[in-house]
């Protein structure tokens, strides 16, 4: 078996090319009694879990469904780890981590946990059950709870329906922040064809945002470059600059903008539209005209984690609430996610979930909960959770870790650390997995809640994770 270091040397020689594919290419971790594999859920370019479920259901998950988006398969990069290395000693892990985690830039409030995914043994715990502001590492919890509640193949639907009494087409928001302008055009064209079949040559247009209470809400931090208004109807997360990730200026009313764009596309498709779109709930007996669907939830989770997508995180948290009979608002999602943690057997004492993105400083997670969530996602008996691992940014290559682990302090983790970052003023967090030279895989969570220098704190956490990736701690 080739060692991971040998593979990574080849990757570094072709780094620019691999940046585009390695996020899914280094496949997910498999928890077992004697072995850990890094080949993930991919089988011949398709998610193995979805392939198995599709075989039972008699359909192909890669086939478009009502215009649903398909995603390309991934390429296996790292060979499986055989898990034959000696088990690690907690004292050795403690000696390894303490220099980095005692860095003054992290302040006095750092908590940490490290778990061996092959054995389930906790190798390091420092106030691991104490709640700390998680920042964006809460997206790991958003991921596993959404996947547990909805399943990896679930798709978010945006629908056009016919209100016959009002001779009105109603655009019904389905809580898909990844809806694109092209999706909306395709929906309008199908709607136009369905109207022609009904002989409707002049219509009015309305839009329905009732999926979320009150049509949606603003996150406590407000509308800014990091998040749009939270509404079930929006195009490309309300972004005004054409970007698909990262900070960007946002629309004041994304739902109204989406309705305007749909109306324009409907007109371009040959439908005569009277008046301007109105904000109106669709009648219960409205007839469906057309629908467009998002990529599968497993792909949405990967996008959310890799890019630290706040808008998508809030949407997935609200869909978790809806799937469990809760209101799709901040209070409902907190109850729903806590219930899903209970269903997964994950103790969450000391935790308080108040949003899906981690932008709310009132949220609390524990290092213990984060590592146990990662271990559960690695369980071979829970393949539906695997994208909570495959979506984690790869150190030095993808997402929010693409520009990290390039310096002297982080080179040990480049390509071997996969982790969700978290940053708020005074808060720096990092949680994920590290593959070691002798073939073990460790889940870790570091939560620093009193940082004094964001760059220095980030570097200290990177050193800690990089040290784990270089660990020979038997």
Residues labelled as active-site residues: 136, 139, 308
**Beta strand extents in 28-141 (DSSP E only):** 42-43, 46-47, 111-116, 122-126
Nearest-angstrom CA–CA distance, 279 and 281: 7
The pairing of beta strand 278-279 with beta strand 202-208: parallel
The pairing of beta strand 111-116 with beta strand 122-126: antiparallel
**Paired strand residues for 394:** 418
Nearest-angstrom CA–CA distance, 465 and 410: 8
DSSP element (H, E) containing 56: helix 48-57
Q: How many CA atoms within 13 Å lie on the side-chain side of 258?
A: 37
How is residue 184 written in tokens? Answer: 């909306």
The DSSP code sequence of 241-303 is: SS-SSSS--B-S-HHHHHHHHHHHHHHHTT-EE-S--EE-PPPTTPEEEEEEE-S-HHHHHHH
Q: Give every CB contact of residue 98 below 8 A, 6+ residues apart in sequence.
A: none
CB atoms within 10 A of CB 219: 21
DSSP element (H, E) containing 433: strand 427-435
Q: Give every CB contact of residue 424 below 8 A, 6+ residues apart in sequence.
A: 133, 135, 358, 359, 361
């Amino acid at each position: 078996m080739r060692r991971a270091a040998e593979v990574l040397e080849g990757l570094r020689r072709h780094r620019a090319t691999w940046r585009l594919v390695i996020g899914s290419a280094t496949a997910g971790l498999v928890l077992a009694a004697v072995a850990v594999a890094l080949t993930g859920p991919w089988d011949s370019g398709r998610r193995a879990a979805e392939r198995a479920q599709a075989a039972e259901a008699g359909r192909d998950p890669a086939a478009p469904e009502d215009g649903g988006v398909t995603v390309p398969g991934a390429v296996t990069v790292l060979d499986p780890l055989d898990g034959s290395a000696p088990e690690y000693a907690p004292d050795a892990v403690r000696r390894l981590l303490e220099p980095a985690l005692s860095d003054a830039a992290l302040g006095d409030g750092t908590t940490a946990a490290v778990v061996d995914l092959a054995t389930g043994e906790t190798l390091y715990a420092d106030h691991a059950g104490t709640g700390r502001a998680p920042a964006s590492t809460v997206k790991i919890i958003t991921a596993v709870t959404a996947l547990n509640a909805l399943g990896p193949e679930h798709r978010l639907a945006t629908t056009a329906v016919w209100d016959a009494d009002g001779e009105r087409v109603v655009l019904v928001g389905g809580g898909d922040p990844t809806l694109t302008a092209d999706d909306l055009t395709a929906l309008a064209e199908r709607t136009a064809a369905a109207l022609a079949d009904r002989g409707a040559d002049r219509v009015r247009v309305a839009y329905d945002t009732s999926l979320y209470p009150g049509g949606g809400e603003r996150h406590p931090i407000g509308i800014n470059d990091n998040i749009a208004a939270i509404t079930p109807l929006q195009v490309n997360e309300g972004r005004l600059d054409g970007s698909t990730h990262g900070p960007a200026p946002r629309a004041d009313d994304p739902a109204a903008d989406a309705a305007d764009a749909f109306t324009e596309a409907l007109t371009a498709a040959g439908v005569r539209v009277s008046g301007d779109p109105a904000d109106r709930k669709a009648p219960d007996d409205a007839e469906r005209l057309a629908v467009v669907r998002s990529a599968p939830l497993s792909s949405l989770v990967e996008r959310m984690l890799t890019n630290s997508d706040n808008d998508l995180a809030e949407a997935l948290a609200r869909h978790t609430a809806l799937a469990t009979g809760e209101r799709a608002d901040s209070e409902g999602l907190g109850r729903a996610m806590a219930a899903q943690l209970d269903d997964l057997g994950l103790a969450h004492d000391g935790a308080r979930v108040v949003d899906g993105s981690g932008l709310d400083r009132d949220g609390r997670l524990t290092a213990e909960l984060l590592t146990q969530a990662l271990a559960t996602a690695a369980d071979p008996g829970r393949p539906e959770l695997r994208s909570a691992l495959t979506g984690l940014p790869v150190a030095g290559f993808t997402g929010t870790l693409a520009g990290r682990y390039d310096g002297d302090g982080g080179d040990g983790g480049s390509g071997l650390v996969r982790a969700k970052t978290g940053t708020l003023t005074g808060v720096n967090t990092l949680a994920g997995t590290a593959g070691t030279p002798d073939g073990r895989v460790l889940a870790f969570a570091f939560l620093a809640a009193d940082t004094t220098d964001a760059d220095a704190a980030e570097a200290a956490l990177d050193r800690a994770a990089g040290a784990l990736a270089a660990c020979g701690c038997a």
